[in-house]
C-alpha cells in the first residue's frame, strides 16, 4: 500500500511515516514511480513504534527492540550480534524502572484526585462562598 493508505490505517501522518523511515524504523520498498510501498505487517509495526516512542524510548533503541517485537512466527535467533543480548537486558531493566516510577506516581496522583473529589463532595461551597 502507499503512504496515504498506511497513514489512514494507522492514524500516523504521512509526514511522520517518512520521518520514521529516515530514522531507520521502517523500510518500505519503492514502486517504479518512486512512491513508497508498504507491506501489511507495517501497519502493526507502526503501532508498536508509536507505543514505544510515546513511552519515551529513543528511536535508536527502538531500532534494536523492534525485531524482538515482531514475533508472529518463531523467534529468530540466528545472527545475533554479541552485544545485543546485554543491550536488550539493559533496556529491559530500564523499562522495569520506568514502570515502577510511573506506577508509583500514578497511584499518588490517583490518591490526590480522590482527595480532591472527596473534599468537593463534603464542602462544595468553597468556590461559591
Cell reading at 89 = 537486558
Q: Closest CB to a copy of itself among 27 and 103?
A: 103
Please report whether residue 18 would count as binding DNA according to CB under 7 A: yes
* CA nearest neighbour of 1 among 35, 25, 32, 27: 35
Alpha helices in 1-129 (DSSP H): 3-10, 14-22, 41-54, 59-69, 84-122
In this chain, which stretch among 8-16, 66-74, 77-85, 113-121 interacts with DNA, using CB under 7 A?
A: 8-16
Output the nine-digit C-alpha cell for 57. 524510548
Cα 129 to Cα 11, 51, 118, distances in angstroms: 47, 46, 18
113 binds, among DNA, a copy of itself, none (CB under 5 to 8 A by kind): a copy of itself
How many chain residues touch DNA (CB under 7 A)? 23
Interface with DNA, residue 36, by CB under 7 A: yes
Residue ranges binding a copy of itself (CB under 8 A): 48, 51-52, 54-57, 65, 68-69, 71, 75, 77-78, 80, 82, 84-85, 88-89, 91-92, 95-99, 101-106, 108-113, 115-117, 119, 126-127
Amino acid at each position: 500500500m502507499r503512504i496515504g493508505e498506511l497513514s489512514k490505517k494507522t492514524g500516523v501522518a504521512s509526514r511522520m511515516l517518512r520521518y520514521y523511515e529516515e530514522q531507520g524504523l521502517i523500510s518500505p520498498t519503492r514502486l517504479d514511480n518512486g512512491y513508497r510501498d508498504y507491506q501489511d505487517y507495517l501497519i502493526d509495526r507502526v503501532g508498536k513504534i508509536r507505543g514505544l516512542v510515546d513511552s519515551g524510548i529513543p528511536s535508536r533503541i527502538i531500532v534494536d527492540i523492534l525485531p524482538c517485537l515482531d514475533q508472529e512466527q518463531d523467534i529468530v535467533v540466528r545472527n545475533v550480534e554479541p552485544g545485543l543480548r546485554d543491550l536488550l537486558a539493559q533496556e529491559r531493566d530500564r523499562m522495569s524502572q520506568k514502570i515502577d516510577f510511573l506506577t508509583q506516581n500514578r497511584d499518588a496522583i490517583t490518591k490526590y484526585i480522590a482527595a480532591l473529589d472527596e473534599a468537593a463532595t463534603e464542602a462544595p461551597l468553597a468556590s461559591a462562598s
